[in-house]
Chain A
């Protein structure tokens, strides 16, 4: 009797959450998969099943290629800047944990991660501005010609990477700090007795032992890099919002295909590609972690 009542409570209590999940998460995900196999055009009445034709078309789509390439460059660029910087900064902050300023370091480095995205991007837009930005003024001291940071396609991708790294760094530092705190102190003391320098124990103790953390931060950074949109939108769209100047990323291409060209099925197939990329990254993380668990 009591057992039954308990069971009933559990089911009734979880029901609202489960219903929302089914309705607003699982259904749209399945719907994305379904749409990707259809020629689903808002304007036409027929929405026929076309198998993998959308994916075949993606393979020859120049704009999609550009978006995929840009997104990949951004994701890996942010990764390449964030991981080493965060590791070193976290090591230094950890070393100075007992100093009075350590709270300040943590807050200052973490703050960009939590401020609203668009205002933060506005700050960088001014820094990169070709005419009145301080970056070009600074470069001119070193005799470097002013650069069109937000106009030139290559430079605007670099600008997006800089902005994204500035934002991602605080999160990575925080996770690394948690990692450093969990490392066994005795091991470092032993290394010190054996005459290891601080740099040596960082290189031969910290880095190997922090591997799971590095893996986790890498996957998180890459996944958010592949979803990049707002940063690219704000930084590289111009006063007239001309599409030519935008940094084409996957999400932008998806949104254009569905809301500008009304090709929803086609956009859904792009979403599926995005999903596959994220899935592969996550699987890599899991399999590497399992390998470590076995060893």
Chain B
């Protein structure tokens, strides 16, 4: 009797282990399949033209070469494009962090009827996709004479409705009114409260938003493409996309150029993964 029970317990354990392993195999296979295109892209960058045709495709090149990289750096102002993208993404992130943190705080903690109207307007514009209003925005940039410049790029990416919303929610959840009231009673000025109490408590949320904002600008496409028509002013995404429409380009060079762009952004992602996941996850948590 006792033997029977322990046996069925054992077989249940056994079954559970088999199920677990089976699920692991499925997930591992799927994960590797998802990664495969990126792995091949990087590896293709190091391949000779002959090896790119080989079947099955090799993951580690037999005769790794940096010719593709050298050729791309010679053919295109790739480093300039990367620099443009970095400047654009960093400045856009700073602008979004600044506008979102102050506006989010005000909208969370100050209760005036006029602010409700402001919040409603910001939420309403959040629904409208960028593509809908980018043509009038282009004419704004044109009339300011800032096409083909960093300022033109930034024009589309200075504020983020979702950022304001995210900070507002975080302030509501993590900064008690009593804390602010206590500081006021102690005679603290409003600016002091914002910089010394609110911002430090928002560090996590700002980190998450910063990562989202950076990647949003880093991967922007349609806007940089219409604003920057001058080769020197391209961002890396636009540069690569238009580079491939040239006549002489082969896949080896394209892969090399793409790999040069991917490696820094993947590295950044791996370092900031926690912030990123937090930021993205909170986009789904509407309250």
Binding site for B on A (CB under 8 A): 2, 5-7, 9-11, 13-14, 16-18, 20-21, 23-29, 31-32, 35, 89, 92-93, 95-96, 99, 101, 104-112, 114-120, 122-127, 129, 132, 134, 137, 166, 169-171, 174-175, 177-179, 198, 213, 216-217, 223, 226-227, 229-230, 233-234, 237-241, 251, 254-255, 258-259, 264, 267-268, 271-272, 274-275, 278-279, 282
Q: For the complex, what is the distance from the CA of A255 to the CA of B226, rounded to whole Å?
A: 9
Pick 12 A–B contacts, CB within 8 A, sort by A.
A20-B158, A31-B139, A92-B26, A112-B38, A114-B269, A116-B237, A129-B251, A137-B56, A170-B34, A174-B281, A229-B222, A237-B245
Q: Which of A111, A132, A171 is within 8 Å of B52, CB to CB? A: A132
Name the CB-closest residue of B to A23. B140
Contacts across chains A and B counted by CB atoms under 8 Å: 267
Interface-lining segment among B61-69, B70-78, B115-123, B201-209:
B115-123
- Closest residue to B249 on the A side, CB-wise? A239
Q: Is the CB of B131 within 8 A of A95?
A: no
Asked if B259 lies at the interface with its beta carbon under 8 angstroms from chain A, I say yes
Main secondary structure of the interface of A (DSSP, over half): helix
A104 touches B103 (CB 8 A): no
- Expressed in whole angstroms, the minimum distance between the Cβ of B125 and any Cβ of chain A is 5
Specify which of B24, B127, B259, B284 is in contact with A96 (CB 8 Å cutoff).
B24
A122 touches B258 (CB 8 A): yes
How far, in whole Å, are A268 and B115 apart by their CA atoms in the complex?
31
Residues on B with C-beta less than 8 A from A126 are 40-41, 44, 251, 255
Measured CB to CB, the nearest residue on chain B to A273 is B132
Cβ of B219 under 8 Å from chain A? yes
Query: What's the Cα separation between A74 and B142 when bound, in Å?
Result: 33
Query: Which residues of the other chain, B, contact A178 by a CB distance below 8 angstroms?
Result: 281, 284-285
* Chain B residues in the interface with A (C-beta under 8 A): 19-20, 23-24, 26-28, 30-32, 34-35, 37-38, 40-41, 44, 52-53, 55-57, 99-100, 102-103, 105-107, 110, 112, 114-115, 118, 121-122, 125, 127-137, 139-140, 155-156, 158-159, 161, 164, 184, 190-191, 194, 215, 218-219, 221-222, 226, 236-237, 240-241, 244-247, 249, 251, 254-255, 257-259, 261-262, 265-266, 269-270, 273, 276-277, 280-281, 283-286
User: Across the interface, which residues of B come within 8 angstroms of A104, CB to CB?
Assistant: 31
Residues of B within 8 A of A198 (CB): 19
B287 to chain A, nearest CB (A): 12
Among B30, B38, B191, B254, contact of A111 (Cβ-Cβ < 8 Å): B38
| Complexed CA–CA distance, A223 and B132 (Å) | 12
Please give me the 8 A-B residue pairs with the lowest Cβ-Cβ distance, nearest first.
A119-B258, A108-B31, A31-B136, A28-B133, A241-B245, A123-B41, A230-B221, A175-B284
List the B side residues contacting A106 at CB < 8 Å.
Answer: 277
Q: Which A residues lie within 8 Å of B56 (CB)?
A: 134, 137
Closest chain-B Cβ to A212's Cβ sits at a distance in Å of: 9
CA of A234 to CA of B168, assembled, Å: 37
Say yes or no: A29-B132 contact (C-beta < 8 A), given A14-B115, A178-B281: yes
| A159 to B270 alpha-carbon distance, docked (Å) | 28
Q: Which residue of B lies closest to A176 (CB)?
A: B284
A28, B139: Cα distance in complex, Å: 9
Contacts of B103 in A (CB 8 A): 13-14, 17-18
Contacts of A274 in B (CB 8 A): 129, 131-132
